[in-house]
Structure 1
Amino acid sequence: MARDPNKAEKSRESIMNSAIHEFARVGFHQTKISDIVANAGFSQRTFYIYFKNKEILYMEILENWKNKLIQQFIIEKKNLNDQTNICRRWEGIFKFMAYNPDYTRAVYLMNPYIEEIRKDIINSLIQIMTQEQENGYLRREVSIGILAESTLATMESLTLRFVLNGKESPIFLAEQISDIYQNGVTQKNSNNF
């Protein structure tokens, strides 16, 4: 008797969602497969139909999250000169981080592989931003490596301090960061320095 592919995909997704919750709650090392499947309403046997082990499951969760985040950094080519794209980019990033706080916590707060994920994100940002610089969207004198690192650090810090705890909305943060990136932080025509 053949399995229903929709039911199988829903079972797999349910196990992944339960795992995300557990990884966010207690971290990778403390999470038990028995807790994942119990919370999802399945047996351990069902877990092993979809995943070889806990690490394979976790790496898939991380890879999915990383790829979805990287998509938030991409600006549509038809709008490269549209300055509102900076705000849209940041808004997309913060909304993504806020959409499933457990997902973000599992990846950033409870992740033994965070440095590997960060390196992949930085490399993707460098590629994206180099293309934007070549297209004239970013100034030529801007160091892409420093911009990529500072972008990731800003995203991480503001997400942990303001987004995950609901202290600020993604839209407000996007507007603030966009303003800083576009206009700087000093008063125009200021002689105070």
Structure 2
Amino acid sequence: MGRLDEKKKQKKDTLFTTAFELFTSQGFNKTSISDIVQQAGVAKGTFYLYFKDKYDVKNKLIAYKASSLFSKAVRALDETTLTDFSDIMIFLIDHIINQLEENTNLLRFIAKDLSWGIFKSALLSNDEHMDTDFYDRYLMLAKECNVTLNNPEILLFMIVELVGASCYNCILNSTPLTIEEYKPFLYQSIRSMIATQIQTNS
């Protein structure tokens, strides 16, 4: 990455960080673009280089935060010796859930507005500002495990929907179980979903 690209990335990262802080501290509706650029220390024109409006920054911020969650999980995976695809997926999911448990502001922010369309923009993004092209890594992990995914995007969609829909109350409200009590049920379901969608290569 050249020096100019690095400076652009730093400015976008600053806008993301600032917008997240303001959205989670004073609320999305009470935060203006002027608030964001003033606190970020950039010109309003810089904001419009990256975003159409406040809703656009929120959607891209959700994708950005989702990408960051996956990036940290993938880096942790690199320190393991796991070789089974299901074990690898459970490891990644568990790491992400633990991150959300430690950062409930992030959980509240992404869970409220998270849709598959927004999440998919992070998973399949080639955006230079995203840390990890998770979808490509996901496919590569399956290949390295000698596994063919019948419907890779559908499988990922089902996992995202299941994890996103069910973990929110478990983490924030311990309802109907605490997240630690719920994990065995969740992971058993995910393993079953994976088993129906993979075919071991001969």
TM-score by length of 1: 0.59
Partner of 2:160 in structure 1? Answer: 152
Q: Which residue of 2 aligns with 1:19?
A: 23
Structure 2 unaligned blocks of 5 or more: 1-15, 48-52, 125-132, 194-202
Residue 41 of structure 1 is matched in structure 2 by none
Alignment of 1:32-181 (within 5 A): 32-33=31-32, 46-47=38-39, 49-50=41-42, 52=44, 55=54, 58=58, 61-71=61-71, 74=74, 75-76=77-78, 79-81=81-83, 84-110=87-113, 114=115, 116-123=117-124, 124-136=133-145, 139-167=147-175, 168-181=177-190
Post-superposition CA distance 1:106-147 (Å, at most 9, x none) = 223147xx555322234255323211221126x325421221
The CA deviation at 1:18 is: 4.0
1:9-65, CA deviations, whole angstroms, 9 ceiling, x for partnerless residues? xxx968743432333xxxx3x22349x97xxxxxx9952625736838646743541
| Number of residue pairs the alignment of both structures matches | 160
**Which of the pair has more CA radius of gyration?**
1
**Superposition deviation, residue 81 in structure 1:** 1.1
Paired with 2:159 and 2:63, the residues of 1 have a C-alpha distance of 20
Tell whether the 8 Å contact from 1:97 to 1:104 is kept in structure 2 after alignment: yes
Percent identity among equivalent residues?
9
Q: CA deviation at 1:72?
A: 5.2
Query: Does the residue aligned with 1:140 lie in a helix, a strand or coil?
Result: strand
Query: 1: CA distance between counterparts of 2:37 and 2:190?
Result: 51
Q: For residues 31 and 153 of structure 1, what CA distance do their matches in structure 2 show?
A: 29
Letter of the 1:109 counterpart: K
Greater relative contact order (Cα < 8 A, sep 6+): 1
What is the TM-score when the length of structure 2 is the normalising length? 0.57
Q: Is the 8 A contact 1:87 1:175 kept in 2?
A: no
Look up the SS of the partner of 2:173 in the other structure: coil
